[in-house]
Structure 1
Amino acid sequence: MIQRQEFPQVGYNYQLILKHILEHTAKMRPEGEIVYRDHFRENYAQLYERCQRLSNALKGLDVKEGSKVICFEWNTHRFLETYFAVPCMGAMLHMGNPLLTPEQISYLINRAEDDVVIFNKDFTSIIESISDKLTTVKHYIILADDEKLPKTALHPISEYEALLRAASPEYEYPDLNENTVASLSNTTGTTGDPKICFFTHRDHVMHTLIWSNMLLGFSGERGLDPRRDIIIQLVPMFHAHGWGIPYIATFLGCKQVYSGRFDPKIFLEMLKKEKHPGQGGYMACVATMLNMIISHPEVEQYKEYFNGLIYEGGGMRLNTILAKKAKELGMDICSGWGMTEAYPKVGLQYLKPHMFDWPEDKKIEFLSGTGIAPPFVEQRVIDEQGNDVAKNGKEVGEVVLRAPWLTMGYYKDAEKSKELWRDGWMHTGDMATIDKEESVLIIDRSKDVVKSGGEWISTLTLENLINMHPKVQEVVVFAAQSEKWGERPVVLLVPKDEYKGKISEAELKEHMTQYVKEGKILKWWIPERFIFVDQIPRTSVGKFDKKAIRLTYGGVLEGKEG
């Protein structure tokens, strides 16, 4: 009673919810532009209206607080609209990754109990192939640049723009509790079935606030000026919330540029059209995409438009050769890192004041590291006993995290949630060093997955399927370096004794093709090489020694073997 009298709680309890980002920007920067290729151009006032129309349309389909809507889309203004319209009405936006296998997609939709499936027309055949397995879906919505419904047996189905035109332009977004779940984001099933992470409105807003601050003052040499500069969305928006960039760009009121499905030529043309040579900008993407841009035969014709553009790489480490090429084109560089469970971002590699006068090569080497924790992120590297390793850039340990936007667990999976969160820290499974600058350098993925072109490939899945071939005795799949894709899967295989010398790479690839047809894997998951050996290196406890295998065979695709 005494405390209530001393500290009366009579003020408005302001909640950190996504509607405040959308409504503020629509009011303060109504003329700010959002561009999707040559197909669509809107401003923030129109974005706000279209979000309200979408919310009303979904309400008409019986979407309400607590409902789940999954979206499979390229980088477009439509996906940006779902980023706000779904969670702002109290429903949950489920990020649908169309690059998973059909089997994984149906598993995720059923596990999340999604009510509505929104999908780009490009993915019609995928959704049709699994529709008879979906147990909770009540309605389908097609996204199409030509605004036409394709011929399909899916039912009931609507076209996105037709729904918006028929809906009211006014929707009063509720004052939700900030701990309301706003989105679901999937891991990529590298160690079994994909897991589903969940994030609240507060998680979204906190991530947006901190990473907007980092973008303004710490990305590249000077940071971004949101009143003058542009943001280009290259990271797929279905992957880890597009690294949070759609929310950051909207919060800052920047001009946003969306290029749809990534194509380096289309990107270059949009860069030329939407950014003038003296203007600043920001883009983030995996190294594979940057390499496709830099290696484009016409890139020199667009060189003046790269000037002032901040590039942020993601992953274990930014390739220094690519970083130098980016600098030669006129780009500023930095490197960030994260994971699906971390929303995604938890680190950014940036120069501190005492580094400003370093030689250029030394700057690039440092900026190509994994990342330094921003405010409100606690980042440690620990040994097997849970003790911090020495900050000498040499001792290796596991990265563990705390931050106000990390998933609190896995949806419907209490046991794996406990594995993720141990002793009050999120265990990433990433092995790294840390130095006196608090800069982390990830040196290995403990889960032994292959990251090809920015997407994960499960070695366990491939091993299981290859082992089904009748001539195979044992097999191990590992990541080999690839100049084009970053990594590609390569196989070490021991044939059964009676088939030694009587098994070929061609028949093994044909064997894997049947699983593509069955929807168990994607075509680009088929291993690049099959190497026949008499035995596979093992650890002292009998497990395959993938570290030793990578040391010996990791450069095989580039003509190098240890």
Structure 2
Amino acid sequence: MNELLFSSGTYYEYPLIIKKILTSALRYAPSRTISYRDRLTYTYTTLEERIKRLAGALSALGMEKGDVVGMIDYNSHRFLETYFAVPMMGAVLATFNWRQGIAELGHTISHASPRVLIVHEDFLCLLKKVKDSLGNVHHLVLIKESEQPEEPFFSFTGEYEDLLIQTQPEYEFEDFDENTPATLYYTSGTTGLPKGVSFTHRQIVLHTLTLGLTLGSYSSKIRFSSKDVFMPLVPMWKEHAWGLPYLAAMLGAQQVYTGKFDTECLLHLFKKYRVTFSVCVPTALHLILEHPYANGLDFSQCKLIVTGARLSEKLAKIALSRGLKITSAFGLSEACPLVSMAHLKGDLDGRATRKKIEALTGAGLPAPLVDVEIAETSEHLMETGNRRNGNLPQGQIVVRAPWLAREYHRDPKKTIDLWKRGWLYTGDLGFIDKDGHIHITDRVGNVSKSGGEWISHQKIENLVRQYPGVQDAAVIAIPDEVWGERPAVLVVIDEAHESLVNSTQIEKFMYSFVRTGDLPKYALPDKYLIVDEIPKTEVQKIDFRHIMERYGGLLFPAAEGTG
């Protein structure tokens, strides 16, 4: 910053920009470390140096303020470097989900239009299949970790580490408008093509500060401090890995990155680095606790945020019994992602274990600076007084916060459905209880309207899963000329029961809930289809679009002969 631009008496308008996050780490913990698997460990001082080298290398390739730099990699120190270097030079970091389908990957790369694309060698086979989406990419930068020869199909500008070595750490990061776009990533696209959401420097800094406040200021066992060792188990290409790498950097906490996800490897890293804080989806937690190597590990010092899907009470009990300190959090891509966290209120600390588990597995309480309400329609919010009087009306959860996505990137039509009357519509259905806890009951589109009555898919799925041998279940709505829509269920049977369970048995089982009053008769599914697997997204949400592509012919037999 050039102080000569400021005359005496001139106020400095302090910008909330990402470089200020890094300044904090360098001030308080310059010697604390960042590790990548067993292969590399360096300090925050070295991180700053590498960030300057990366920015200098990108600048030499012609990258300027507002240009887009794309990243396709595993969770790594390199990803952390791009989290800072790209936005700090005024460019936009676009991160891409390499787990999604080819059509979706091609769409997101084309839609984001990066001028530079940094890609790990493991994903070059995917990049070949979307080569027609690379028209705006001027420079391909290769991340190479193996001894294999370079892929001759592509022409690379250089290799990531080589570019850093060849560039001096002299790049000067200037201040600029805090409302400058910093990052861009894409939604899972469960009902259509993924949608892009972008966030400014101001939004990311405010999100980081509030996440730190949420995790550090309340009476809770899930507290994150500079003494923690942080290892994220959610992908860095989505939601900034829940924003926690930015928070860890601001606090100067030790960080560990796993690279390619492998349960045994991450358990080894957990033990080696004595990891004390992480974030993951329920599936990852299940894989960790079920792995034989986990049996000899002490989890008593580890705090874990579980997000991305509802944490079941059964899994929560198993995790707690193994010594883990856990909590659930509710977020969404459009919210960067923090909305709420399942902190226990003081009056819950002395209650029964079951009450605690119900609270810990729920969506929790809104974070500071987050307003949450329930919308009856797109025009009306529920009356707040109703829930204070014990009436708990359900509707769509709507939110306000200073870090919410302002729009879907280059998609004004979809943005109209996102924002209504000054509230962001989450697409989640639920209610807020008299204590202020958010309860998510279903997803908009994850319900059937049959004969004017709403039928919850989630409730049906939970009941079907109670049948012995049922491993998973998913409900979808089938159009019906008489009723409008009717529910149908896809069911996965575990290996031990494959030859023992059929759809007729499940149908009879479900009817028992009608007799007990747990399910209205009109909510009984019309069809039970046993399948090998239920397509899901990378965060284990049911992928309805791929379900229709794979099983549509079986669910809609009348359509098979049309064309």
Q: Common fold, TM-score beyond 0.5? A: yes
Q: Secondary structure at the match of 2:130?
A: helix
Q: Counterparts of 2:365 and 2:198 in 1: how far apart (Å)?
A: 25
Q: Counterparts of 1:64 and 1:149 in 2: how far apart (Å)?
A: 32
Residue 441 of structure 1, CA deviation: 1.3
User: Which 10-residue stretch deviates more, 430-439 or 393-402?
Assistant: 393-402
Q: Residues 140 and 20 (structure 1 numbering): CA distance in 2 closer, same or farther, change over 3 Å?
A: same
Residue 131 of structure 1, CA deviation: 1.7
Q: Residues 426 and 269 (structure 1 numbering): CA distance in 2 closer, same or farther, change over 3 Å?
A: same
Q: Counterparts of 1:144 and 1:85 in 2: how far apart (Å)?
A: 20
Residue 531 of structure 1, CA deviation: 6.2
Q: Counterparts of 1:371 and 1:311 in 2: how far apart (Å)?
A: 15
Q: Counterparts of 2:21 and 2:420 in 1: how far apart (Å)?
A: 33
The equivalent of 1:386 in structure 2 is 380
The equivalent of 1:426 in structure 2 is 424
The equivalent of 2:304 in structure 1 is 311
Residue 264 of structure 1, CA deviation: 1.5
Q: Counterparts of 1:156 and 1:202 in 2: how far apart (Å)?
A: 34
How do 1:80-119 residues align onto structure 2 when only pairs under 5 Å count?
80-119=80-119
User: Which letter maps to 1:266?
Assistant: C
Residue 426 of structure 1, CA deviation: 0.3
1:66 counterpart = 2:66: yes
How do 1:218-367 residues align onto structure 2 when only pairs under 5 Å count?
218=218, 220-221=220-221, 223-226=223-226, 228-275=227-274, 281-302=276-297, 304=298, 306-367=299-360
Residue 417 of structure 1, CA deviation: 1.3
User: Which letter maps to 1:371?
Assistant: G
Q: Secondary structure at the match of 1:265?
A: helix
Q: Counterparts of 2:493 and 2:52 in 1: how far apart (Å)?
A: 45
User: Which letter maps to 2:325?
Assistant: D
Q: Residues 482 and 394 (structure 1 numbering): CA distance in 2 closer, same or farther, change over 3 Å?
A: farther
The equivalent of 1:439 in structure 2 is 437
Q: Secondary structure at the match of 1:400?
A: strand
User: Which 10-residue stretch deviates more, 281-290 or 521-530?
Assistant: 521-530
User: Which letter maps to 2:402?
Assistant: P
The equivalent of 1:502 in structure 2 is none
1:185 counterpart = 2:178: no
The equivalent of 2:481 in structure 1 is none
Q: Secondary structure at the match of 2:109?
A: helix
Q: Counterparts of 2:403 and 2:240 in 1: how far apart (Å)?
A: 12
Residue 139 of structure 1, CA deviation: 0.8
Q: Could you tell me whether the CA contact under 8 Å between 2:225 and 2:251 is conserved in 1?
A: no
Q: Secondary structure at the match of 1:288?
A: helix
How do 1:382-531 residues align onto structure 2 when only pairs under 5 Å count?
382-384=375-377, 385-388=379-382, 390-391=386-387, 392=390, 394-448=392-446
User: Which letter maps to 1:315?
Assistant: G
Q: Counterparts of 1:35 and 1:314 in 2: how far apart (Å)?
A: 24
Q: Secondary structure at the match of 2:323?
A: coil
Question: How many residues align structurally?
Answer: 481
User: Identity over aligned residues, as a percent?
Assistant: 34
Q: Counterparts of 2:544 and 2:105 in 1: how far apart (Å)?
A: 11
Q: Counterparts of 1:219 and 1:115 in 2: how far apart (Å)?
A: 46
Q: Residues 483 and 351 (structure 1 numbering): CA distance in 2 closer, same or farther, change over 3 Å?
A: farther
Q: Secondary structure at the match of 1:184?
A: strand
Q: Counterparts of 1:146 and 1:435 in 2: how far apart (Å)?
A: 54
Q: Could you tell me whether the CA contact under 8 Å between 2:24 and 2:252 is conserved in 1?
A: no
Instruction: Give deviations 1:14-50, integer Å, cap 9, x for gaps.
Output: 0000011112312321111111111111110011100
Q: Secondary structure at the match of 2:231?
A: strand
User: Which letter maps to 2:374?
Assistant: V
Residue 204 of structure 1, CA deviation: 0.4
Q: Residues 124 and 235 (structure 1 numbering): CA distance in 2 closer, same or farther, change over 3 Å?
A: same
Q: Could you tell me whether the CA contact under 8 Å between 2:214 and 2:368 is conserved in 1?
A: no
Q: Counterparts of 1:437 and 1:195 in 2: how far apart (Å)?
A: 34
The equivalent of 2:154 in structure 1 is 154
Q: Could you tell me whether the CA contact under 8 Å between 1:220 and 1:310 is conserved in 2?
A: no
Q: Residues 482 and 118 (structure 1 numbering): CA distance in 2 closer, same or farther, change over 3 Å?
A: farther
Question: Unaligned stretches of 5+ in structure 1?
Answer: 1-7, 452-457, 464-473, 485-490, 492-504, 513-519, 537-562
Residue 191 of structure 1, CA deviation: 2.8
Residue 322 of structure 1, CA deviation: 0.8
User: Which letter maps to 2:155?
Assistant: H
Q: Could you tell me whether the CA contact under 8 Å between 1:70 and 1:114 is conserved in 2?
A: yes
Q: Counterparts of 1:218 and 1:356 in 2: how far apart (Å)?
A: 13
The equivalent of 2:464 in structure 1 is none
Q: Residues 157 and 526 (structure 1 numbering): CA distance in 2 closer, same or farther, change over 3 Å?
A: farther
Q: Residues 160 and 223 (structure 1 numbering): CA distance in 2 closer, same or farther, change over 3 Å?
A: same
Q: Counterparts of 2:319 and 2:415 in 1: how far apart (Å)?
A: 40
User: Which letter maps to 1:355?
Assistant: L
**Among candidates 342, 363, 371, match of residue 370 of structure 1:** 363
With structure 2 as the length reference, what TM-score do the two structures score?
Answer: 0.78
Q: Could you tell me whether the CA contact under 8 Å between 1:311 and 1:333 is conserved in 2?
A: yes
Q: Counterparts of 2:490 and 2:225 in 1: how far apart (Å)?
A: 39
Q: Residues 90 and 148 (structure 1 numbering): CA distance in 2 closer, same or farther, change over 3 Å?
A: farther
Q: Counterparts of 1:300 and 1:108 in 2: how far apart (Å)?
A: 41
The equivalent of 2:29 in structure 1 is 29
Q: Secondary structure at the match of 1:193?
A: coil
